[in-house]
Structure 1
């Protein structure tokens, strides 16, 4: 089992501030997360998969939604 990360631990892996990651959760645009009551956690595998989905080769290439 992977260690789950909180928002403060996950944000640097993406290169954003924790507040940005919180906003992305509301908008549904960030990596998948796990909710347990009021706690939010991120699996490193979900973060890496989210980043891989956004990998592009040129600035004119669109990102999959």
Structure 2
């Protein structure tokens, strides 16, 4: 799979690329519920690594041809 995010880049809340997976409120809900991609919390700043975002996206990939009916 092609990477949706740059592997070696760090993303912070407000980066427009994060809108691919959810808006700021959705990401906050996921963090509260211990869901969504892995992240770092440094003080009040939340940081997502591109490699973690790509791994999370790959784990949530749905292939309709492989789904049972």
Q: TM-score range by the shorter chain?
A: 0.7 to 0.9
Higher relative contact order (CA 8 A, sep 6+): 2
Q: Tell me the TM-score normalized by structure 2.
A: 0.70
The size of the alignment, in residue pairs, is: 59
Q: Gaps spanning 5+ residues in structure 2: where?
A: 1-7
Moved over 2 A (4+): none
Task: State the TM-score, normalized to the length of structure 1.
Answer: 0.74
- Note the residue ranges of structure 1 that are not aligned, 5 or more in a row: none
Bigger Rg, structure 1 or 2: 2
**Aligned-CA RMSD value:** 2.1
